[in-house]
């Protein structure tokens, strides 16, 4: 079952004297985060809603003002906390997937259907994202997420690839 809440970022420090807080954006781009009117904190009892009164790009972060957090001391209570967004609040173009829905999927050869391993992480590389794949022999392989290698993704059955020769050879 897909989680209703997705990690969207992390509060990383206060800004100014009016309770603003800086936040890392873990979305594809800051426009996704600046378009949210609510974010959520995970608690023992579930998810607690925080209303965003303002969310604007700020250097390589976003600057947020959360309703009810009106002093630097209030905002400091949020520092280092991961915040979430409701899945339904994040626009997802056709043919795109949330990383949370891909993690744990089996990775197969598009042609032979041989299973190469399981997707364990998605990393930001210099030129493209990288899929971190754990093979049955516990080897970690990194595959650039480009159309030449990633042929298709089916969240129900797996990720289908055409890797360069030798990438998955177990030594």
Summarised one tens digit per residue, pLDDT across range 2-12 is: 789 999 999 99
Report residue 94's pLDDT band, with 50, 70 and 90 as the boundaries. confident
**43-73: pLDDT as tens digits:** 999 999 999 999 999 988 999 999 999 999 9
Given phi > 0 = left and psi -120 to 50 = alpha, else beta, which region is 33? alpha
| CA separation for the pair 22, 15 (Å, rounded) | 6
Tell me which residue range forms the domain holding 26: 5-87
Question: Do residues 10 and 56 both lie within one domain?
Answer: yes
Do residues 54 and 118 share a domain?
no
The model carries a pTM of 0.79
Task: Tell whether 21 and 65 lie within a shared domain.
Answer: yes
Spell out the residues 6+ positions from residue 95 whose beta carbon is closer than 8 angstroms to its own.
Answer: none
Averaged pLDDT of the chain: 92
In the block, residue with structure tokens 């022999």: 137
Q: pLDDT band for position 127 (50/70/90)?
A: confident
Same domain, 64 and 104: no
Residue 54: inside a domain, yes or no? Answer: yes
Tally the domains of the chain.
Answer: 2
Q: What is the DSSP letter of 164?
A: P
For residue 152, is it within any domain? yes
Q: Does a structural domain hold residue 170?
A: no
User: Does one domain contain both 122 and 76?
Assistant: no
The 10 Å Cβ neighbour count of residue 26 is 17
């Amino acid at each position: 079952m897909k989680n209703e809440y997705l990690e969207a970022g992390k509060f990383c420090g206060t800004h100014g004297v009016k309770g603003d807080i800086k936040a890392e954006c873990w979305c594809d781009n800051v426009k996704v985060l600046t378009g949210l009117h609510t974010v959520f904190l995970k608690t023992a009892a579930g998810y607690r809603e925080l209303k965003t009164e303002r969310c604007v790009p700020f250097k390589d972060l976003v600057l947020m003002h959360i309703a009810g957090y009106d002093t630097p001391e209030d905002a400091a209570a949020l520092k280092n906390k991961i915040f979430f967004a409701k899945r339904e609040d994040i626009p997802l173009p056709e043919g795109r997937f949330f990383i949370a829905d891909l993690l744990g999927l089996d990775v197969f050869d598009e042609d032979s259907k041989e299973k190469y391993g399981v997707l364990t992480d998605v990393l930001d590389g210099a030129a493209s994202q990288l899929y971190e794949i754990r093979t049955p022999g516990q080897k970690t392989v990194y595959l650039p997420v480009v159309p030449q290698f990633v042929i298709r993704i089916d969240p129900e059955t797996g990720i289908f690839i055409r890797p360069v020769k030798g990438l998955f050879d177990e030594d």
